[in-house]
Amino acid sequence: MAKRPLGLNKANKSKKKKLDSAEKAEKAVAKEISPENDESAEPAPALTLDADEEDDMGQLESLYKNWTSSERDSPRILHGVVHECDSLLQKAKGEGLPARFHEIYAASLLDLAEFADKKKPVKKKKVKSDDVAPETSDMFVDAALERVETGLEQYPEDAGLLFVKSRALKQDIDEKMSAVSKEERKETAKKMISQLNKILEVFKLAQKHASTVTPAQLDVVEELIELSGALESVVKQSDISETTLVACEKFYNEILASEKDENTVKKAHRGVGTCKMIVADSLLDLLDDDDEDNDDTVELAKKNLKAAIEHFQKSETDEDGEFMVTLAETMIQYGNLFETESDDQKKWYGEAVKRLRQAQRLGVGKYDEMILELEDD
């Protein structure tokens, strides 16, 4: 009746004999099954369309949701979204499409830019979205900007469109900086500086009209801070990032004062903490460069690091191992500013070790030597 299993050793030997003469070389010894997954062959992405077939926007929303809830590691679904948008455009002949349509379309074009080839440093060809299909990343960003402006013409106060615009403007700077030649980098960077505050203004306007701000939408602000630091290093002008930093920190505090969503609040705390940490870093750099001890600088650095830690602690979660490492590093920096082997230093090293251990438990890196060093009395 039923087949009977051999012992593992016998089964392996038997399989080896079969492999010698078989055409397929199958070497698997272990057969895995995860019962909660479909055990059949790799399926194509399941495009679940929950909406009524007559409801075009509903279908578009559903498709877009498939994308946002997926792993986002393949542009296949995105192409489907853009194709659907084009169909709707054709159907509506440019009239009566809601703000959300333009928002989804523009956001999808920006996401597609991530998968596209980078443009080579040649003269740029302006692309209209309904003209030539975008090929390179900058073309997708241009198309997204155009789409968002089309939407804003009809819906100038739509928060969703404004958020996407801020994102598109930031990506536009990235594209310009990566496309330009080495000789032109500095000049281009100078021009981009004025864009930074514009982006923040657009974002603030979006927030003003939005009922709530999502953590994902706050990503743009975080990226602005990084971008300002990058531009500063190109232009060799020290106040760029400071100006942006101050503006961003102020903005985060406004979010903290007004937002109720727990995740958004955590993100904003993280944002403030990042701003404080960057200030502290620049102060610590001064300490390194300066041969004489400067108590004021040390105290100011301590103050900023402490504030950074407080904000970071308010945004900690049990599952974010990478952030635990960031927090641990901040605590170590703070601990380093106290007297060697003082209680304060031990306290902060201890807190850092707890987080490094937890990060390790989550599989984020190996920190055993750092832990040993911190625990070494």
Partner 1 sequence: MTDTKRAPEETGLPDAKRAHIDDVEKCFHKGLLDQTSQDELKTQIAESGPYKHGVIPQLIDDELLRSVRKEIMEGVHFTRKETDIYKVFQTGDLANLSGLSEEELGTLPSLFKLRNAMYSREFRHFMSYITGAGHLSGSKQDMSINVYQKSCHLLNHDDVIGTRRISYILYLPDPDEPWNPRWGGALRLFPTIRPNVPASDWTVSIPPAWNQMALFKIQPGLSFHDVEEVYVDKPRMSISGWFHIPDVGEEGYIEGEKEETEALSSLKQLTSKSLREHDFPKRTPGQVPEDEFAHLKEGPKDDDDLFLSDDDVKYLSKYLNPHLLTIKTVKQLNDLFCTNSQLEIKDFLNSEYVGVLKKTIDAEDSRPPKEMPQVSEEIVLPWKLARPPHKARYMYLDGSEEADKEPEVGEEEVTVRPDENGGFEYSETILSGLKDTDKAATSKVSEVAALFKSSALRRWISRISSLALKSENIIARRFRPGFDFTLATAQDESDIALEATLCLTPTKGWEDGEYGGYELCMAVDEDADDDPAVYRGAKAKEAGEGEGDEEDEDEDEDDPVLLTSQASWNTLNIFVRDKGILKFVKYVSKNAPGSRWDISAEWQVEYVGDDEEEEDEHEE
Q: Which residues bind partner 1 (CB under 8 A)?
A: 1-12, 14, 16, 29-36, 39, 354, 357-358, 360-363, 366, 368-369, 372, 376
Of 20 and 288, which CB lies nearer to partner 1 in the complex structure? 20
Of 198 and 361, which CB lies nearer to partner 1 in the complex structure? 361
Of 19 and 92, which CB lies nearer to partner 1 in the complex structure? 19
* Cα-to-chain-centroid distance, residue 323: 13
Closest distance of CB 34 from partner 1, Å: 4
Closest distance of CB 25 from partner 1, Å: 15
Q: How far is CA 140 from CA 22, 118, 129, 134, 376, in A?
A: 50, 10, 8, 5, 53
Q: What ranges make up the beta strands (E) of 182-324?
A: none
Contact between 121 and 97 (Cβ < 8 Å): no
Compute the distance between CA of residue 86 and CA of residue 89 in angstroms, rounded to an integer: 5
Contact between 330 and 305 (Cβ < 8 Å): yes
Which residue, chain included where needed, has tokens 């703070």?
A: 334
Closest distance of CB 17 from partner 1, Å: 9
Contact between 144 and 169 (Cβ < 8 Å): no
Of 18 and 118, which CB lies nearer to partner 1 in the complex structure? 18
Closest distance of CB 45 from partner 1, Å: 22
The one-letter code for the residue type at 371 is I
Of 309 and 359, which CB lies nearer to partner 1 in the complex structure? 359
* Cα-to-chain-centroid distance, residue 355: 22
Closest distance of CB 373 from partner 1, Å: 9
